[in-house]
């Protein structure tokens, strides 16, 4: 009786030992347009304001709210001519819209008073504004100025760990881990592709591993995949 050969199986990779560049290249070919990049046209002020609006708010609310606001005021000088009530009305129903309206006005006024209406292009300068954290600052640097920056939101944090590329507990830890090991040409790409990948396929619950373009390289750590009905 002829010997039956077992099919070759790919040896599981260790955490951190995955072809991240190939994976990100594949995802970059799949997701080519960052929704906030399209909205803001990479204008640093618009990126800053849109990112503030996006905090604790879904894109389907953030993007229309930003479009309404930018149609009326897309510079600090135009923004301070609006009252908080006017901004609140334009950005509703974004989460914490009253607080965000005041934050937008305060930032716009300070940009005029201290920065000649120009958004700072340094982490230190951006973090000096109330309401601006590392995620927002990194997005402004990367998307607004085209500078190397690792913007880590919940999608980037979750998927980087699912891939098995990092082993971290918080977005802040993920940012530092990615800064230490991810090649710099991929710093700005990772946010663009993983945000869209996380929204469409690699969801927190019900991940679509069956149609994921990088499934073969992903370690799928702590993944609750979507059940695919039998055909």
pLDDT one-digit tens code per residue, 194-213: 999 999 999 999 999 999 99
As annotated, the residues of the chain forming the CATH 1.10.340.30 domain(s) are: 43-144
**Residue 141: C-alpha distances to residues 7, 40, 167, 200 (Å):** 48, 13, 25, 25
pLDDT class for 38, splitting at 50, 70, 90?
confident
pLDDT class for 19, splitting at 50, 70, 90?
very high
Mean per-residue pLDDT, 175-200 = 96
What confidence score (pLDDT) does residue 141 get?
A: 98
As annotated, the residues of the chain forming the CATH 1.10.1670.10 domain(s) are: 20-33+150-211
What confidence score (pLDDT) does residue 187 get?
A: 97
Q: What's the chain's average pLDDT? A: 91
What confidence score (pLDDT) does residue 35 get?
A: 75
CB atoms within 10 A of CB 170: 10
Q: In the CATH scheme, what is the code of domain 43-144?
A: 1.10.340.30
Q: Is the pLDDT of residue 1 over 60?
A: no
Q: Is the pLDDT of residue 13 over 60?
A: no
Mean per-residue pLDDT, 8-14 = 43
Mean per-residue pLDDT, 120-126 = 98
Q: Is the pLDDT of residue 7 over 70?
A: no
Q: At what angle do helices 171-181 and 187-200 cross, to 10 degrees?
A: 130
CATH classification of 20-33+150-211 is 2.170.130.10, yes or no?
no
Residue whose entry in the numeric block shows the structure tokens 């594949």: 26
What confidence score (pLDDT) does residue 134 get?
A: 97
Q: Which pair of tokens denotes residue 36?
A: 């906030």
What confidence score (pLDDT) does residue 225 get?
A: 61
* Predicted model pTM: 0.88
Q: Is the pLDDT of residue 193 over 70?
A: yes
Q: Is the pLDDT of residue 5 over 60?
A: no
Q: Is the pLDDT of residue 96 over 50?
A: yes
3-state secondary structure string across 39-57: HHCCCHHHHHHHHHHHCCC
């Amino acid at each position: 009786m002829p010997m039956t050969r077992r099919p070759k199986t790919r040896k599981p990779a260790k955490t951190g030992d995955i072809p991240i560049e190939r994976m990100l290249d594949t995802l970059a070919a799949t997701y080519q347009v960052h929704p906030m990049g399209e909205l803001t046209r990479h204008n640093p002020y618009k990126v800053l304001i849109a990112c503030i609006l996006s905090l604790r708010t879904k894109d389907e609310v953030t993007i229309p709210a930003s479009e309404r606001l930018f149609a009326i005021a897309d510079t600090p000088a135009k923004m301070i001519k609006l009252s908080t009530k006017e901004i609140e009305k334009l950005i509703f129903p974004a989460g914490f819209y009253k607080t965000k309206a005041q934050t937008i006005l305060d930032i716009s006024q300070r940009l005029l008073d201290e920065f000649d209406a120009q958004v700072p292009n340094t982490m230190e300068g951006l973090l000096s504004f109330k309401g601006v954290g590392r995620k927002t600052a990194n997005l402004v640097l990367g998307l607004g100025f085209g500078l190397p920056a690792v913007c880590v939101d919940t999608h980037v944090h979750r998927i980087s760990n699912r891939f098995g590329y990092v082993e971290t507990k918080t977005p802040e830890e993920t940012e530092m881990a990615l800064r230490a090991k991810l090649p710099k040409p991929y710093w700005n790409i990772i946010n663009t592709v993983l945000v869209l990948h996380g929204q469409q396929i690699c969801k927190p619950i019900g991940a679509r591993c069956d149609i994921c373009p990088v499934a073969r390289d992903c370690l799928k750590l702590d993944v609750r995949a979507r059940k695919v009905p039998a055909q």
